[in-house]
Amino acid sequence: DARVTQTPRHKVTEMGQEVTMRCQPILGHNTVFWYRQTMMQGLELLAYFRNRAPLDDSGMPKDRFSAEMPDATLATLKIQPSEPRDSAVYFCASGPRRGAEAFFGQGTRLTVV
């Protein structure tokens, strides 16, 4: 059963530390999304890639967030330095093609203290 895999599932870190979240998209999917979900803001699109190329990262705070796809099987989202307001659930999703539905990973629940 193909699925998007995210690691870690939970992360607690101190303010100022670097956080790296990883995502393995479904094999063969060429579109990868990063979302952040909080109670107040709902699901916010942070960045997305097609064929490993970043197409839009306008939703990300550029000074501290970065997203990359080193290869087709790995997407990363980094926060450096982390702040308490970054506490949220971060979801990765992948899709088979432009305009198609996306399939979500189980998320990384980040707490910055």
Residue 34 in contact with other proteins, rule: CB under 8 A = no
- Of 12-20, 48-56, 61-69, 70-78, the segment contacting other proteins by CB under 8 A is 48-56
Reading the block at residue 64, the tokens are 């501290």
Find all residues with CB under 8 Å of 91, minimum gap 6, and list them: 6, 33, 34, 35, 36, 37, 43, 104, 105, 107
- Smaller CB separation from other proteins, 10 or 80: 10
Residue 100 in contact with other proteins, rule: CB under 8 A = yes
Strands 10-13 and 5-7: unpaired
Instruction: Give residues in contact with other proteins (CB under 8 A).
Output: 31, 33, 35, 42-43, 45, 48, 50, 55-56, 58, 91, 93, 95, 98-107
